[in-house]
Chains A and B, each alone.
Chain A
Amino acid sequence: MVEAGGRRFEAMIEAFLPPVFAVFFSMALFGAFVALAGVDPIEVYRLMATGAFGSWFSVQNTLQRAAPLLLTALCTALPAQMGMVVIGGEGALVAGGLAAVASGLALSGLGLPVLLVQFAMALAAMAAGGAVICFAGMLRQMRGVNETISSLLLTYIVIAVFKQIVEGVMRDPASLNKPATRALPDSLMLGMLPGTDVHVGLLFGLLFCLFGYVLIYHTTFGFAARVVGGNPRAARLAGLPVGRLVLIVTALGGAAGGLAGMVEVAAIQGRASAALIAGYGFSGILVAFLARQNPLAVIPVAFLLGGIAASGGLLQRRLGLPDATVLVLQGILFVTLLASETLTGRFHLRRPTAEVKEA
């Protein structure tokens, strides 16, 4: 038993060696890139470390940005268990944010308990985000439409509907040049974690990741989902309800993305506006891939990328680098990571021996 556990641990280390390698390799590439742009790479790394984890203030900033990433990463990571590549996290987030604001504004005047209204907002956000991604899953299941393309198209459509509503029926007449909805009452805003300036949305993200991990790796449902991901035909022959599994898992992923939208409006922005379309959904895809689609591994990776995003402001102020610097680093990281997949199975902590055959 101990032996088996040890081997599982080694297998896990081996699985995570390529991503770790990719992170270091892409840091080197990024260093060369900023050097070409005429900036000292050592100084960039130093500032990034300071901006991400250097002080209590920057750590809180990092955690603040990691919160939506935890959730949007699940939007890709959960469907990935079934072999689907969903990239509609941004759409789920935007739909969720709008649904949260709409339900919050509608319920705020009724004198209901705050917690109940916040719960309803979260529920509405998860339903909206879940509906978007579940629709992509449904199209895949019923019509064979590729879910990668459809989820991205749905994102563009959702963003258009969002802008239409924010600048139309839900527009606050007082918001002149930057159209926005009316602000949520202060009482509905999410509180802070005790002793910090980090909102409780971080906790939502952590809990959702834990839930995802348990669901995928420690329940029959998750096992069935992974069987579908491994071999859909075998799953169907074994009598698994493939269609239902696809719908539920995509809805759960979308619900995570939608909750990210609720967290953003109810903890940071206070209203729905174009500022909600900030790219957390797209960064979430990278988080999911770096975490090898494992909901538990999403947590450290989201903190890492939250840190990178948090340090962007410092790079801009101190070195005059454009705000897209962070996007370049993310892009290099993503490309390097996928290229490093080719190394999978080539790292061995122990030489494979005959005893492995017992499985």
Chain B
Amino acid sequence: MESDALGWWGVPLAVIAGAIRVSTPFFFVSLGECVTERSGRINLGLEGTLVMGAMSGYGTACLSGSPWLGILAAGCAGGLFGILHALLCSLPRVNDIALGIALMLFGTGLAFFLGKPFIQPKAPGLPSIDLGWWSSLPQVRSALEVNVLFLAGIAAAPLLAWGFRNSRWGMIVRMVGDSSDAARAMGYSPDRVRLLATAFGGFMAGVGGSFLSLYYPGAWSESLSSGQGITAVALVIFARWNPLGCFWASLLFGGAGALGPALQSVGVTEGYYLFNAAPYMLTLLILILSSSSRRRLAGAPAELSVTR
């Protein structure tokens, strides 16, 4: 068999292929959350938003026959959750972290409720682009089968980084995140800016969720997401609120997430669950190493409650 010829070299190849595949939802969630957190709010509810996006994307694709409509529906569902978070947070005394936990449970519950009829049927999946045509090895070819959303994520990261630095909107979001008083003095409403930033974050998380159900693993089930949303939120902290950092961190986490399946493909089944938990361990380890009890994190938006 061809795959035996590759032997252990299959492991790094599978990790790279997995990194490309597994990291895409991380991209979208973390880039969206990056914008939300830059505006001074944290939305921990993205875990629920991701599941909600996966369900609504799959359901829409099932009913309409178009995966693209599915992505759009997932984004809109996520955006609605973002708007709900932002509107409730703008009420006095409502805490964004606690509300995020509530929306995490609500989004998951609602997705399970509405998603019941879609567990069996097969939705049309997203097409992929074959970048490995030059190779004769099937592993290389399958590793380089890249999804459009991955490319969109690659494009979005530098775009957002540029936007934060140079565009008027980027400046406003950063100003609101660093001092809502200054923003108010300039005539911008922090609540409205945060509403848009959180809605954007929700939209991106919804799209990330639709990738899970429409491409990889590629079906809707209730065990689809376990912690990708919250990992992506932690990843933004690790990436120091920098979109390009989010990109590299997502790839790293995707690679860690692909380690278990990659080892399994060459016959190492020992410790399967532990390898699956690698992204969480890595996240926690990085949080431990990069935080400090004495000073605030460099680059943290001053209005953000988690880093206080």
Contact = CB atoms under 8 A, between A and B. Distances in A.
Contacts of A285: 101, 105
A331 B94 contact: no
A289 interface: yes
A145 B277 contact: no
B106 A332 contact: yes
B110 interface: yes
Contacts of B23: none
Contact of B97 (A148, A167, A322, A335): A148
B289 to A, nearest CB: 8
B277 A322 contact: no
Most buried by A among B103, B112, B271, B277: B277
A145 B283 CA distance: 11
A214 interface: no
A152 B109 contact: no
A53 interface: no
Contacts of B218: none
Nearest to B294: A144
Contacts of A330: 105-106, 109
B283 A153 contact: yes
B293 A142 contact: yes
Given A167-B273, A327-B108, A322 B116 contact: yes
Contact of B288 (A143, A286, A323): A143
Contacts of A50: none
A325 B92 contact: no
B102 A334 contact: yes
A152 B227 contact: yes
Contact of A331 (B98, B105, B231, B281): B105
Interface string B240-268: 00000000000000000000000000000
A141 interface: yes
Most buried by A among B93, B103, B110, B226: B93
Interface residues of B, number: 48
A178 to B, nearest CB: 15
Contacts of A153: 227, 230-231, 234, 280, 283-284, 287
Interface residues of A, number: 46
A144 B293 CA distance: 4
Contacts of B155: none
Contact of A335 (B102, B227, B292): B102
Interface in B282-306: 283-284, 287-288, 291-294, 306
Nearest to B88: A339
B207 to A, nearest CB: 22
A338 B88 contact: yes
Interface string A142-177: 111110111011101101110110010000000000
Nearest to B281: A157
Interface string A317-332: 0000011111110111
Contacts of A144: 291-294
A160 B273 contact: yes
B128 interface: no
Interface string B202-246: 000000000000000000000000110011011001000000000
B306 A341 contact: no
Contacts of A325: 113
A143 to B, nearest CB: 5
B287 A145 contact: yes
Interface in A125-154: 139, 141-146, 148-150, 152-154
A334 B107 CA distance: 11
B189 interface: no
Most buried by A among B84, B291, B294: B291
Given A142-B293, A341-B94, A342-B91, A331 B306 contact: no
A337 B273 CA distance: 36
A206 interface: no
A90 to B, nearest CB: 11
B273 A338 contact: no
B226 to A, nearest CB: 6
A335 B98 contact: no
A153 B44 CA distance: 12
B293 A143 contact: yes
A204 interface: no
Contacts of A249: none
Given A160-B277, A339-B91, A149 B287 contact: yes
20 contacts: A87-B101, A143-B287, A143-B293, A144-B292, A144-B293, A146-B237, A148-B97, A149-B237, A153-B284, A156-B227, A159-B277, A285-B101, A326-B109, A328-B110, A331-B105, A335-B84, A335-B88, A338-B98, A339-B99, A342-B94
Given A143-B293, A331-B107, A331-B109, 7 more contacts: A85-B97, A85-B98, A139-B288, A149-B233, A152-B227, A286-B102, A328-B106
Interface of B: 44, 84, 88, 91-95, 97-99, 101-103, 105-110, 112-113, 116, 226-227, 230-231, 233-234, 237, 271-274, 276-277, 280-281, 283-284, 287-288, 291-294, 306-307
The 4 closest A-B pairs by CB, nearest first: A331-B106, A327-B109, A160-B277, A324-B112
